[in-house]
């Protein structure tokens, strides 16, 4: 377990990496005694720093919920991070590639809550009842720490959360079979990844349930209006300058972003 001074030093280095878009040394390489509890504390401290600078907490993200993502990251458990309003990007926007260090993109479903949700004991039905609607999304992930990352590094780095683009057609949770929602991820004219939302723990709502049960014992409630990213059901795709990324969710529409 790390002391407060050490945690603060890691927070400082992560904030500098956010500012410069240059990766910093991963915490696990500098502190062999780091634990996952340290990493979540560090992630929370970074989120607090941004809020002190004027950002607003708008929800959470769940990551590494699918086998595709776990295998690509060499990690065998989910993680979570914070969503801030400065991460929101309009559908179809052109954004500078220089806003990120090493950006990749994922497709997933965002759950927007209509009522509070707090664990423990939350299951799929509880999540469906608490959800106002579900929105097709692209998440931009960006590693502010270098390779080879471990779970400690990914968690400390806020689950690599960097950007969120909402689009397509929002649906009520019972108006579609969320398990069988399909996604096709295009980079320019090429299909890079395809998948089904059931790749997230069997049902994307189970990613939200996992989060509620993880943070509920810490006294954290997911509030009405909060957005929760349920986790990608495809592997991440690299994004370079000039790339147009489009996620096609079939009947639920599409969402796109261009890196310039």
Burial state string for 118-131 with b = 16 or more CB within 10 A and e = fewer than 16: bbeebebebbbebb
What CA–CA distances, in Å, run from 26 to 103, 145, 153, 192, 226?
17, 5, 6, 29, 30
Q: What is the pLDDT of residues 118-138, one digit of tens each?
A: 999 999 999 999 999 999 999
In this prediction, residue 65 carries a pLDDT of: 80
pLDDT band at 70 (very low <50, low <70, confident <90, very high): low
In this prediction, residue 75 carries a pLDDT of: 65
Nearest to 195 by CA among 148, 230, 144: 230
DSSP string, 85-121: GGGEE-TT-EE-GGG-SSEEEEEEEEEEESS-B--SS
In this prediction, residue 64 carries a pLDDT of: 81
| pLDDT beyond 90 at 160 | yes
Q: What is the pLDDT of residues 183-242, one digit of tens each?
A: 999 999 999 999 999 999 999 999 999 999 999 998 899 999 999 999 999 999 999 999
Long-range pairs, 50-55, Cβ under 8 A, ≥24:
50/84, 50/86, 51/84, 55/84, 55/85, 55/86
**CA dist., res. 152 & res. 140, Å (int):** 20
In this prediction, residue 118 carries a pLDDT of: 94
Considering the domain 4-259 in this protein, what is its CATH number?
3.90.850.10
| pLDDT beyond 80 at 243 | yes
In this prediction, residue 72 carries a pLDDT of: 59
| DSSP tag of 222 | B
pLDDT band at 43 (very low <50, low <70, confident <90, very high): very high
In this prediction, residue 63 carries a pLDDT of: 87
Task: Provide the angle, in degrees to the nearest 10, between the axes of the packed helices 36-52 and 4-20.
Answer: 60
Are 166 and 257 a contacting pair, CB within 8 Å?
no
In this prediction, residue 10 carries a pLDDT of: 98
| DSSP tag of 159 | G
| pLDDT beyond 90 at 69 | no
Looking at every residue in the chain, the average pLDDT score rounds to 94
Ranges of each domain in the chain = 4-259
In this prediction, residue 78 carries a pLDDT of: 84
Give the N- to C-terminal CA distance of the chain in Å, as an integer: 42
């Amino acid at each position: 377990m790390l002391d407060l001074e050490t945690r603060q030093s890691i927070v400082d280095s992560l904030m500098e990496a956010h500012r410069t878009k240059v990766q910093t040394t991963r915490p696990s390489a500098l502190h062999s005694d780091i634990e996952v509890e340290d990493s979540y504390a560090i992630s929370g401290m970074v989120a607090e720093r941004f809020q002190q600078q004027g950002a607003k907490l708008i929800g959470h993200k769940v990551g590494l919920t699918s086998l595709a993502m776990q295998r690509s990251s060499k990690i065998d458990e989910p993680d979570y991070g914070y969503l801030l309003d400065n991460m929101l990007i309009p559908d179809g926007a052109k954004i500078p590639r220089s806003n990120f260090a090493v950006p990749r993109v994922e497709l997933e479903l965002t759950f927007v809550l209509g009522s509070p949700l707090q664990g423990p004991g939350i299951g799929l039905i509880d999540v469906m009842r608490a959800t106002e609607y579900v929105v097709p999304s692209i998440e931009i992930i960006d590693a502010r720490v270098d390779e080879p990352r471990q779970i400690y590094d990914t968690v400390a780095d806020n689950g690599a959360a960097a950007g969120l683009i909402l689009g397509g057609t929002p649906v009520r949770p019972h108006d579609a079979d969320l398990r069988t929602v399909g996604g096709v991820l295009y980079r320019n004219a090429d299909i890079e990844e395809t998948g089904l939302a059931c790749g997230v723990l069997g049902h994307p709502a189970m990613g939200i349930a996992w989060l509620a049960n993880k943070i509920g014992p810490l006294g954290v409630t997911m509030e009405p209006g909060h957005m929760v990213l349920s986790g990608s059901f495809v592997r991440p795709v690299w994004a370079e300058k000039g790339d147009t990324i489009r996620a096609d969710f079939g009947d639920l529409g599409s969402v796109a972003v261009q890196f310039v």
